[in-house]
A and B are shown apart, each in its own frame.
Chain A
Amino acid sequence: MNLALAPLLVPLATALLCVFAQGAPRLQRRISLGGAVVLFLCAAALLRQVAAHGPLRLTAGNWPWPFGIEFVADPLGAVLVLMAALMAMVCVLWQESDADAAPATPVLHPLLHGLVAGSCAAFLTADLFNLYVWFEVTLICALGLLAHGGALRQLDATLKYLALNLVGTLLLLAATALLYAATGQLNLAALGAAAARLDQAALLPLLGLLLIALLVKAAAFPFFAWLPASYHTLPAPVLALFSALLSKIGICALLRTFGGAFHMAPPLLFELLGWVALLSMVTGVLGAAYHWDLRRILVFHSISQVGYILLAIALDSRAGNAAAIFFTLHHSLVKAGLLLTAALICRQAGHYDLRRVGGLYAARPGLALAFLGFALALVGIPPFSGFWGKYLIVRECLAQGEYLWAGTALLVGGLTLYSMVKIWLEAFWKGHPEAGWQPPAAARLLPAQAGLAALALVTLGLGLCPELLTWLVTDAAAALQGGPP
Chain B
Amino acid sequence: MIWAVAMATGTVIGVGLYLALSRDLLRCVIGLAVLGNGVNLMLFAAGRLGGSAPPVIGAGEAALGASANPLPQALVLTAIVISFALLCFSLALVLRIMQVGESDDVEALQSAEPPATDPVKPPLEESP
Contact = CB atoms under 8 A, between A and B. Distances in A.
Contacts of A186: 71
A174 B85 contact: no
Nearest to A180: B46
B124 A155 contact: no
A64 B56 contact: yes
B36 A166 contact: yes
B96 A155 contact: yes
A481 interface: no
Interface string A379-408: 000000000000000000000000000000
Contacts of A157: 112
A292 B122 contact: yes
A291 interface: yes
Given A136-B86, A163-B32, 6 more contacts: A67-B56, A132-B79, A155-B93, A162-B86, A173-B79, A229-B113
Interface in B83-128: 85-86, 89-90, 93-94, 96-97, 100-101, 109-113, 121-122, 124-125, 128
A293 B56 contact: no
Interface of A: 63-64, 67, 101, 129, 132-133, 136, 139-140, 143, 147, 150-160, 162-163, 166-167, 170, 173-174, 176-178, 180-181, 184, 186, 228-230, 232-233, 290-293, 296, 346, 350-353, 355-356
5 nearest A-B pairs in the assembled complex, by CB-CB distance: A181-B46, A177-B43, A153-B111, A156-B112, A157-B112
Interface residues of B, number: 44
A140 B47 CA distance: 28
Interface of B: 20, 25, 28-29, 32, 35-36, 39-40, 42-43, 45-48, 55-56, 69, 71-72, 75, 78-79, 82, 85-86, 89-90, 93-94, 96-97, 100-101, 109-113, 121-122, 124-125, 128
Given A170-B35, A292-B121, A152 B111 contact: yes
A346 B128 CA distance: 8
A167 B32 contact: yes
B97 A156 contact: yes
Contacts of B40: 173
B93 A181 contact: no
Given A173-B39, A173-B43, A159 B111 contact: no
Contacts of A139: 86
Contact of A159 (B45, B93, B121): B93
B112 A229 contact: yes
Nearest to A181: B46
Given A166-B32, A351-B128, A356-B124, A174 B42 contact: yes
Contacts of B79: 132, 173
A154 B127 CA distance: 13
B82 A133 contact: yes
A329 B56 CA distance: 40
A341 B61 CA distance: 64
B42 A177 contact: yes
Contacts of A350: 128
A163 B28 contact: yes
Contacts of B45: 177, 181
Given A129-B75, A229-B112, A233-B112, A101 B43 contact: no
Given A170-B39, A177-B46, A293 B55 contact: no
B124 to A, nearest CB: 6
B93 A176 contact: no
A352 B113 CA distance: 15
Contacts of B43: 173-174, 176-177, 180
A155 B93 CA distance: 7
Contacts of B35: 167, 170
A158 B93 contact: yes
Nearest to A170: B39
